[in-house]
Amino acid sequence: MSNKVTLRVNGETVYCLPQTDLPALLEQLGLNPRLLAVEYNGEILHRQFWEGTQMQEGDALEIVTIVGGG
């Protein structure tokens, strides 16, 4: 059994501990969750589901920063 989970985040390989939830992963990556949109395995993941989403081996995430302006 491995002590690391391998993910793809924005096309890059990232590792985290098993049972890491999405907010913890974002913190690990140094990202501010309030300014992000997350696609999880090809689906936009609504913020209400972030806490209950645990990273699994092979998951793919696309994380984009929301930018305001005009």
> Which tens digits make up the pLDDT trace of 43-53?
999 999 999 99
Tens digits of residue pLDDT in 22-59: 999 999 999 999 999 999 999 999 999 999 999 999 99
The model's confidence at residue 1, banded by pLDDT at 50, 70 and 90, is very low
β 60-65/5-9 pair status: parallel
Q: What angle do CA 46, 58, 19 make, to 5 degrees?
A: 65
